[in-house]
Chain A
Amino acid sequence: MARINSPEKLEKARQEILSRRKPDAPCISICAGAGCLAFGASEVIDAFKAEVEKQGLTVDVDIKKTGCPGFCERGPVVVIFPEEICYLQVKPQDVPEIVSQTIKEKKIVERLLYVDPTTDEKAIHESDIPFYKNQQRNIICDNIKIDSKILDDYLAIGGYEALSKVLFQMSADDVLAEVKASQLRGRGGAGFPVWRKWEGTRNSPGEIKYLVVNADEGDPGAFMDRALLEGNPHSILEGLIIGAHTIGSNEGYFYVRQEYPLAMENLGIAIRQAKEYGLLGKDILGSGFDFNVEVHRGAGAFVCGEETALLRSLEGKPGEPTPRPPYPAVKGLWEKPTNINNVETWANIPLIINKGGAAFASTGTEGSKGTKIFSLVGKITNTGLVEVPMGITLNDIIYKIGGGIPGGKKFKAVQTGGPSGGCIPAEQLNLEVGFDELTKAGSMMGSGGMIVLDEDTCMVDVARYFIDFLTEESCGKCVPCREGLRQMHTILTRITRGEGREGDIELLEVLAETAKEASLCALGKSAPNPFLSTLRYFRDEYDAHIKEKRCPALSCKELISYYIEPDKCQACMICLKKCPVDAIEGGKKKIHVIIQEKCTNCGECFEACPSKFGAIKKLSGEPVPPPIPEAERTFVKKSKEK
């Protein structure tokens, strides 16, 4: 491809690409995101290629390896265009049937469709599946339409149109005004207004300015940025170049999480192709504007996602936060003004330019506009990535999109905002999702993690778990975080072990205050959230652990006992064989008894006991009834006597 050196030529190139494509010809899109690849998407892709060739359809059918559409749990996901037929959990052996039935005969392969678990209704199109139907997929929707390794695919859906507009039809002030009108706030955590940061960096004195894409995505379980990097890297790149032109920067950096090899690969390809096409590098689209990017692999620590630590790491120094002010916009990378935004933030930019800031701002709440991608995981029926309009209620995300809590369990709380976010209880399920709304509820937006917890979860243990993570990830520089979190973890651990003391809550509170008020960076400042939010909504659980040595959720190992109810035991020997420490006495036709002294509370028996018997009970805060006398242990099958 020759370099494109004018907006007209870009349009011409786009028309050429489109003219080569037959809009009605079948296109088999197979997700090649990390999730689906783990479920064997590569084999499915190979099978499609072989089968299409075997049935002599190569010229008529397009096969596309695409980015992640979010429903990873049901992967590999296959969507057949133009009808948008969606098949889930496709295996290589399903492929011949799909090709001969759906591609050739236009018939549906029923068994591969999504089935609604409550209504048993099947959904043919992607957009009929409740998981998708209730989302508003403005950004992630393109993932399934393009092969991210092919720039033509991105151009075919209007890619780089926004950039062309910015370079040739808009002034930097116009762009800034549009971003301001969109009211877009950063998607990486703090939710800072994007236009203000851009303007700040633009107005900072200095010839050299840098741009950075924060692609460190350190929250455990979060993968929205990965999905965009793998599935649509050009959208991020386009946003970045627009930002560069607006702010006045000629050099940008991607800081990509260490564990994202596929993202690195796809991003590398995207950058190379954009350069070849003249969309990146010198004299972009013939506008005279130069912009280069480099990709940097992250140092691997969670705190390296914090902007000052990230910049130090880019400079080759230890990835430790440095005091702000000075803010990066004034003194950032190598002491030059630097604008750093998150992956998803950048990906929103082309959209804002194409549709206009006002249109963008028409979705959302007072303070939060547009859509946000969440990673929905935990005790929820449909896990995956969901893109929703700001202002949607937690209830709608969890029940309409997520399909509710599996196993007939009760919802308890949803943990949002990553490890240093907070837990929001059932009473607040009507909360509208937005930056300020979540903060007010004692949690935060963070980068969009959402972990659903059910009634079996102990909230004290949840706090302990996240504080443990954060203690491990503290960079160790400042005292309130390094020492304060370590002590908080010690205290929370002893509470969950039934060794909590009078005064522990007050001790935790003072440590939380100290970390929140006195820490150097936002890791330490927000780290007490898991404790503070669980204390706010679930104080009774703390009291039960400390005062009664009882875990109300029957989850803390040190505070529970397992007990076999004699009248329910069917003497089936299943649990007895499962017990790893031979703590269960009994035999065929002999009611089983757990020897409490031997039991290690591993819970194997509880899991093993057939649910129709349900003979094993967890007890907490009450004495275990004495074992039934030997003489009464003979099992008598209850006949249906009347």
Chain B
Amino acid sequence: MSEVILQIDGKEVSATEGMTVLQAARSAGIFIPTLCYHEKLEPFAGCRLCIVEAEASGESRLIVSCVSAVEKDLVIKTRSERVDRIRKTLLELLLAHAPDSPKLQDLAVEYGADKNRFEKDASFCVHCGLCVRYCAEVVKKNAVGFVGRGTKKEICFVPEIASVECNDCKECFPLCPTSYLQAAFVLTEALAFPNTSSEPDSE
């Protein structure tokens, strides 16, 4: 693997070929906000928060750093007026769904995002897909998946699998940027788990 030198926020960064811009930035201690990225998972590129400005041969364009490979002589700006404006809008869109998410709130402060800018639809899930993908790719159980599509897409536990697998795992719980995942689990457990022993386990 050959070395690629690029510039991020004025700093010279050395990366290996095939790395993403996000990985290169992280390795150099430069922070880029992310929501749907997880180092153990295939990139999903759904939240778009990791968008940055890239300059190459005099042209500036916006790229999504979690899926964009490093290139020689690339000049990256992780913040700019345009990037900040887009991140702010993305956060405001997400806050319309999950106004109480600590992660979103922290970022909202940084980018001056107003959680009341857009009409609320408090469905709490922000569709980052971390739980679904973690369960599929790392745990390999597919106990939670997406149902529906488009604006009607939702996460959903599969009761038959979840009732067997989840209680001993719950590794996805801390990944959720909102509290929706746990709520969805508790709800599925209460309403749809196949009847095993109805005695609650004492801990």
Q: Could you tell me which A residues sit within 8 Å of B by CB distance?
A: 301, 318, 323, 325, 471-480, 482-484, 486-487, 490, 507, 510-511, 513-514, 517-520
Other-chain contact of B94, A483, A513, A518 (Cβ < 8 Å): A483
B48 interface residue (CB < 8 Å to A): yes
Q: In the docked arrangement, what's the CA distance between A121 and B149, Å?
A: 54
Other-chain contact of B48, A472, A473, A478 (Cβ < 8 Å): A478
Given A476-B127, A479-B46, A517-B82: 13 more A-B contacts, CB < 8 Å: A323-B43, A323-B64, A476-B151, A477-B127, A482-B150, A483-B96, A484-B93, A487-B119, A513-B86, A517-B51, A520-B45, A520-B46, A520-B64
Q: Could you tell me which B residues sit within 8 Å of A by CB distance?
A: 43-48, 51, 62, 64, 67, 69, 82, 85-86, 89-90, 93-94, 96-97, 117-119, 121, 126-127, 146, 148-153
B153–chain A nearest beta-carbon distance, Å: 4
- A480 / chain B contacts, CB cutoff of 8 Å: 48, 86, 89-90, 93
- B146 / chain A contacts, CB cutoff of 8 Å: 318
Q: In the docked arrangement, what's the CA distance between A471 and B93, Å?
A: 14
Known: A483-B94, A483-B97. A472 touches B47 (CB 8 A): no
Contact, CB under 8 Å: A482 / B43: no
A410–chain B nearest beta-carbon distance, Å: 36
Q: In the docked arrangement, what's the CA distance between A212 and B47, Å?
A: 30
Contact, CB under 8 Å: B67 / A514: no
Contact, CB under 8 Å: B96 / A482: no
- B43 / chain A contacts, CB cutoff of 8 Å: 323
- B153 / chain A contacts, CB cutoff of 8 Å: 476, 482
Which residue of chain B is the closest to A489 with respect to CB atoms? B151
Contact, CB under 8 Å: A301 / B149: yes
A409–chain B nearest beta-carbon distance, Å: 36
Other-chain contact of B150, A473, A479, A484 (Cβ < 8 Å): A473
- A520 / chain B contacts, CB cutoff of 8 Å: 45-46, 48, 64
Contact, CB under 8 Å: B85 / A487: no
Residue among A301, A318, A478, A483 with the most chain B CB within 10 A? A483
Contact, CB under 8 Å: A323 / B94: no
Known: A476-B153, A479-B48, A482-B151. A518 touches B93 (CB 8 A): no
Known: A323-B43, A325-B69. A483 touches B93 (CB 8 A): yes
Q: List 6 A-B contacts (CB under 8 A).
A: A318-B146, A475-B149, A476-B148, A513-B86, A520-B45, A520-B64
Q: In the docked arrangement, what's the CA distance between A483 and B148, Å?
A: 15
Contact, CB under 8 Å: B96 / A478: no
Contact, CB under 8 Å: A471 / B151: yes
- A519 / chain B contacts, CB cutoff of 8 Å: 48
Q: In the docked arrangement, what's the CA distance between A484 and B89, Å?
A: 9
Contact, CB under 8 Å: B86 / A517: yes
Residue among A471, A475, A479, A483 with the most chain B CB within 10 A? A479
Q: In the docked arrangement, what's the CA distance between A114 and B64, Å?
A: 56
Name the prevailing secondary structure of the A interface residues. helix
B137–chain A nearest beta-carbon distance, Å: 14
A531–chain B nearest beta-carbon distance, Å: 15
- B89 / chain A contacts, CB cutoff of 8 Å: 480, 484, 510-511, 513-514
6 shortest A-B CB distances, which residue pairs?
A483-B93, A476-B153, A323-B67, A476-B150, A518-B48, A514-B89
Which residue of chain A is the closest to B91 with respect to CB atoms? A479
Residue among A473, A474, A517, A519 with the most chain B CB within 10 A? A517
Which residue of chain A is the closest to B118 with respect to CB atoms? A487
- A484 / chain B contacts, CB cutoff of 8 Å: 89, 93
Known: A480-B90, A487-B93. A474 touches B48 (CB 8 A): no
- A482 / chain B contacts, CB cutoff of 8 Å: 127, 150-151, 153
Contact, CB under 8 Å: B149 / A476: yes
Which residue of chain B is the closest to A482 with respect to CB atoms? B151
A275–chain B nearest beta-carbon distance, Å: 37
Contact, CB under 8 Å: B47 / A479: yes
Q: In the docked arrangement, what's the CA distance between A77 and B43, Å?
A: 53
Which residue of chain A is the closest to B152 with respect to CB atoms? A476
B148–chain A nearest beta-carbon distance, Å: 8
- B64 / chain A contacts, CB cutoff of 8 Å: 323, 518, 520
Contact, CB under 8 Å: B150 / A514: no
Which residue of chain A is the closest to B61 with respect to CB atoms? A517
Residue among B44, B67, B150 with the most chain A CB within 10 A? B150
A69–chain B nearest beta-carbon distance, Å: 37
Known: A301-B149, A518-B86, A520-B46. A479 touches B51 (CB 8 A): no
Contact, CB under 8 Å: A478 / B45: yes
- B47 / chain A contacts, CB cutoff of 8 Å: 478-479
- B90 / chain A contacts, CB cutoff of 8 Å: 479-480, 514, 518
Q: In the docked arrangement, what's the CA distance between A486 and B117, Å?
A: 14
Contact, CB under 8 Å: A486 / B151: yes
Contact, CB under 8 Å: A472 / B150: yes
Q: In the docked arrangement, what's the CA distance between A350 and B120, Å?
A: 54
- A318 / chain B contacts, CB cutoff of 8 Å: 146, 149
Which residue of chain B is the closest to A511 with respect to CB atoms? B89
- A507 / chain B contacts, CB cutoff of 8 Å: 117
- B118 / chain A contacts, CB cutoff of 8 Å: 487, 490
Q: In the docked arrangement, what's the CA distance between A291 and B66, Å?
A: 38
Q: In the docked arrangement, what's the CA distance between A279 and B126, Å?
A: 52
Known: A513-B85, A514-B89, A517-B62. A474 touches B119 (CB 8 A): no
Contact, CB under 8 Å: A479 / B149: no
Known: A323-B45, A474-B151, A483-B93. A518 touches B127 (CB 8 A): no
Residue among B43, B86, B89, B121 with the most chain A CB within 10 A? B89
- B46 / chain A contacts, CB cutoff of 8 Å: 477-479, 520
Q: In the docked arrangement, what's the CA distance between A318 and B145, Å?
A: 12
- B85 / chain A contacts, CB cutoff of 8 Å: 510, 513
A348–chain B nearest beta-carbon distance, Å: 31
Q: In the docked arrangement, what's the CA distance between A484 and B67, Å?
A: 21
Contact, CB under 8 Å: B48 / A475: no
Contact, CB under 8 Å: B51 / A518: yes
